[in-house]
């Protein structure tokens, strides 16, 4: 089962690159939704069956794979924008940086004092690489929606690491973290709506009235 989990993690990494390389927001949202669904399947592959696991799997797929993408889709539609335009850093440089970070995270993870049974699997490097990809999207894009996508990718990266610790994380805490993510995205969606109404664009680089002279 573990090798299958590894293959899924490769898919997660590929999705990072899709989000890094595309300018189409709808496509990007769908990619992140797919990533969410994969993350929902993963715990079932590496942990023995329990009801706790079923709850978590259902929760993740529902929230990360369904509800959050729907919220974002609605925000995109009501703001009537389709593409990220003129990111602070072009798509090719971000993709190259993403590749560099992915390579570095594999190098870094091999140096970490991991448990013997986690040594040969990709959870830790995939987690760090996804985290970095999220950061890249967050910092290089102008549109508010892209920034939320970046935040979600970053969260997914953290989540992959969390997969290694199912025993230490009680259900209540995991559920709480998921719920916070959901409400947070919901509030961000509302704010995005207001940004587009107020500035008639979703360009966060227009948010510059609050600056120190």
Out of 67, 95, 184, 203, point to the residue binding other proteins (CB under 8 A). Answer: 184
Which of 108, 149, 122, 147 is closest to 10 using CA atoms? Answer: 122
Out of 170, 201, 203, 205, point to the residue binding other proteins (CB under 8 A). Answer: 170
**Which one of the spans 21-29, 63-71, 96-104, 156-164 is the region binding other proteins (CB under 8 A)?**
156-164
Interface with other proteins includes 213 (CB under 8 A)? yes
Interface with other proteins includes 108 (CB under 8 A)? no
| Euclidean distance between CA atoms 2 and 5, whole angstroms | 5
| Euclidean distance between CA atoms 36 and 57, whole angstroms | 10
Out of 59, 67, 161, 201, point to the residue binding other proteins (CB under 8 A). Answer: 161
Interface with other proteins includes 54 (CB under 8 A)? no
Interface with other proteins includes 89 (CB under 8 A)? no
Question: Do 157 and 181 meet the contact criterion of CB atoms below 8 Å apart?
Answer: no
Q: Is the dihedral of CA 4, 11, 156, 100 positive or negative?
A: positive
Q: Rounded to the nearest 5 degrees, what angle is found at the Cα of 62, between the Cα atoms of 84 and 127?
A: 65
* Interface of this chain with other proteins, residues 187 to 206, rule: CB under 8 A: 187-188, 190-191, 194-195, 198-199, 204
| Euclidean distance between CA atoms 65 and 52, whole angstroms | 19
Question: Do 38 and 115 meet the contact criterion of CB atoms below 8 Å apart?
Answer: no
What are the tokens at 128? 């760090």
Interface with other proteins includes 10 (CB under 8 A)? no
Interface with other proteins includes 106 (CB under 8 A)? no
Using the minimum distance from each CB to other proteins, give the nearer residue, 22 or 201: 201
Helices (H) and strands (E) in the chain, counts: 8, 0
Which residues contribute to the site for other proteins (CB under 8 A)? 112-115, 131, 138, 144, 147, 151, 154-155, 158, 161-162, 164-165, 167-170, 172-173, 176-177, 179-180, 183-184, 187-188, 190-191, 194-195, 198-199, 204, 207-210, 212-213
């Amino acid at each position: 089962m573990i090798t299958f989990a590894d293959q899924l993690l490769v898919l997660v990494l590929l999705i990072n690159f899709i989000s890094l390389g595309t300018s189409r927001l709808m496509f990007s949202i769908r990619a992140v939704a797919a990533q969410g669904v994969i993350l929902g399947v993963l715990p079932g592959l590496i942990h023995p069956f329990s009801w706790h696991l079923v709850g978590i799997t259902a929760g993740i797929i529902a929230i990360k794979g369904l509800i959050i993408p729907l919220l974002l889709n609605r925000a995109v539609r009501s703001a009537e924008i389709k593409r990220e335009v003129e990111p602070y850093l072009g798509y090719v440089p971000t993709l190259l940086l993403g590749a560099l970070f992915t390579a570095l995270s594999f190098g870094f993870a091999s140096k970490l004092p991991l448990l013997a049974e986690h040594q040969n699997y990709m959870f830790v490097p995939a987690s760090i690489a996804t985290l970095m990809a999220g950061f890249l999207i967050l910092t290089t894009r102008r549109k508010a929606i892209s920034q939320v996508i970046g935040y979600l990718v970053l969260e997914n990266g953290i989540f992959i690491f969390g997969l290694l610790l199912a025993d230490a994380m009680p259900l209540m805490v995991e559920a709480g973290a998921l719920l916070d993510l959901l409400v947070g995205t919901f509030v961000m969606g509302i704010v995005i709506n207001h940004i587009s109404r107020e500035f008639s664009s979703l360009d966060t680089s227009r948010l510059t009235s609050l600056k120190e002279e």
